[in-house]
Amino acid sequence: MSDQVRRYRTIFISDIHLGTRGCQAEFLLDFLKQTDAETIFLVGDIVDGWRLKRSWYWPQSHNDVVQKLLRKARKGARLVYVPGNHDEVLRQYTGVHFGGVEVVNDYIHETADGRRLLVMHGDAFDGIVLYAKWLALMGDWAYNLALTANTWFNRARRSLGFGYWSISAFLKDRVKNAVQFIDNFERAVAEEARRRQVDGVVCGHIHKAEMRMIGDVLYINDGDWVESCTALVEHFDGRLELINWAEIHNLSMLDRRSPKRRAEDPEVGIAA
């Protein structure tokens, strides 16, 4: 991986889920070390309060993520925190600044090329979370079980010299009901942006990075840091780009392996 820092006007990250074993904190630290921005939006579920209430899990790497973000704020970056459902306790502090971090319920961001984007977590448009929280908590338990399996699976892959691959993200793309839920969620969020008379929306919540037009609204989901390890960045000319950091990291790892090992690796051909 190059030591050169990538500089952006704005970075959007969400669904880190610090406090859970599924959090890919090392990938995020790698991303934060190699990127900088004038403004960083934390688009909800940064800390997983649901999980921490049941059992405490906070390794050094999770603390390092928090310290790295606060260090960026001290160096002049603007940090805007939009709480999600897993860190909803922070919603009672809307309008308050904590150590250089602004807490807001949602935010309208104007890009360098003049587009107005509504930034929000998106859980308000998830009917399960809104109307049947007990069912959402049960789903959260099953989801974390899948993430635990994903963690062990990827440890085995790393020991064999392969890169990161998400089981849960793979299944989510192929289960009919999940696909229909995601489509409904995206359209509901886009409709809210249309109602607010903005050009687009940036959200998180469903852990599926996406950027597409829904009618006349630009829908963007910046993904997560438990499955896909993705972020949305705004370049200084206003251009928006989804970055898959796990993929970049995997390619970098392949580049450092021997030519013989790379030639034997079937994933190299797929990536090409």
The number of domains in the chain is: 1
| Helix, strand, coil % over all residues of the chain, rounded to 5 | 45, 20, 35
Q: Which CATH number covers residue 213?
A: 3.60.21.10
Full-model pTM? 0.76
Cα distance between residue 131 and residue 138, in whole Å: 14
Q: Which one-letter DSSP state was computed for residue 4?
A: P
Q: What is the maximum alpha-carbon separation in the chain? A: 56
More confident residue, 247 or 27: 27
127 backbone dihedrals φ, ψ, rounded to 5° = -60, -30
The residue range of the domain holding 89 is 6-271
In this structure, is residue 125 part of a structural domain?
yes
Q: What is the mean pLDDT of residues 1-5?
A: 67
pLDDT tens for each residue of 119-145: 999 988 876 444 445 445 545 555 555
The answer as to whether 219 is a domain residue is yes
What pLDDT is recorded for position 173? 56
- Range in 37-41, 222-226, 242-246, 255-259 the model is least confident about: 255-259
Domain-located, residue 1: no
